[in-house]
Structure 1
Amino acid sequence: VVCALSVLALVTEAVTVHKQHKHAFSSQHFLRHDGHAQKVYIIEHHKPSKHDPHKKVEHKYKHVDYYTHPKYKYGYKVEDHHTGDKKSQHEHRDGDSVKGYYELHEPGGTVRRVEYHADKHSGFHATVKHKTHHIIPKKHHHHQTKHHHKKM
């Protein structure tokens, strides 16, 4: 009995270790094309008054924030074989225009893809597409033993 329990424990551990060897995969990238935020100074000239012609000209600086043209690309991808989670997204922006898509692999084998774009003139638009992949179910063969009974 102890030997049988030891064998059962080893088999259970081997199956658990085997299942844990499937690795999840995840990746991402982000690429910015815009420059650094820059300070812009506006110089205001103040002339000396007529009362004191020898006084220096004063320069006053005024801080104004300026941001460069926004431009970027990014994406990510997840493939987790343990949970079955499989998805990805990609997006890029150039100024006021944003375009991208994301995909989600659903449990039944269908892939849902949403493609989108937006800009300040036409707003946000999205198109949903479905790709169907037929999953062939695994056949489990059950071995049946045939019993022959003698007639009496």
Structure 2
Amino acid sequence: MNSKLLLMAVVAVAAADRRPYSYSAPEFSSEEFGPAHYNFDWAVQHSDSGNNFGHQEARDGDDTQGSYYVQLPDGRLQTVRFNVQGDSGFVPEISYEGEARYPDSFESFESRESRGYAPPRPVYG
């Protein structure tokens, strides 16, 4: 019994000796890397499904400008143009092109595709 008590005391001392883990954020200066500078754009247009969306953005230092757009299910194209200058925050300008259309019966891309599917006929040799 004494050996168990001694073993538990040794384990307790070893566990108490561990130093608590500490984390600090990396230190760097924006002057080391210079001001941010990038320019990109991408787009997806798939006429069969009606998908039409994209994004464009450019940044030079604290000045960021760009836009993104999406074809809405009602047929309109929604475009968001935005800019960010320093600490001014995200300033959007939203616009719509086209007129909203609401068909009597909505038919999705998936339902149009599923009508054309037929399982293969078995072949016996």
TM-score where L is the length of structure 1 = 0.43
Runs of 4+ in 1 over 4 A off after TM superposition: none
Which structure would you say has the larger Rg?
Answer: 1
1:122 offset after TM fit, Å? 2.0
1:124 offset after TM fit, Å? 1.5
Q: Which runs of 5+ in 1 are unaligned?
A: 1-63, 138-152
Q: Which residue of 2 aligns with 1:108?
A: 74
Structure with more helix by fraction? 2
Question: What SS does the corresponding residue of 2:84 show, helix, strand or coil?
Answer: strand
Q: Does 1:70 align with 2:36?
A: yes
Q: Which whole-Å CA distance do the structure 2 matches of 1:120 and 1:134 have between them?
A: 37
Q: How many residues of Structure 1 are paired with residues of Structure 2 in the alignment?
A: 73
Structure with more strand by fraction? 1
Which gives a bigger RCO, structure 1 or 2 (Cα 8 Å, sep 6+)? 1
Deviations 1:10-54 (A, max 9, x none): xxxxxxxxxxxxxxxxxxxxxxxxxxxxxxxxxxxxxxxxxxxxx
CA RMSD of aligned residues (A): 2.3
Q: Does 1:82 align with 2:51?
A: no
TM-score where L is the length of structure 2 = 0.51
1:120 offset after TM fit, Å? 1.9
Q: Which runs of 5+ in 2 are unaligned?
A: 1-27, 104-125
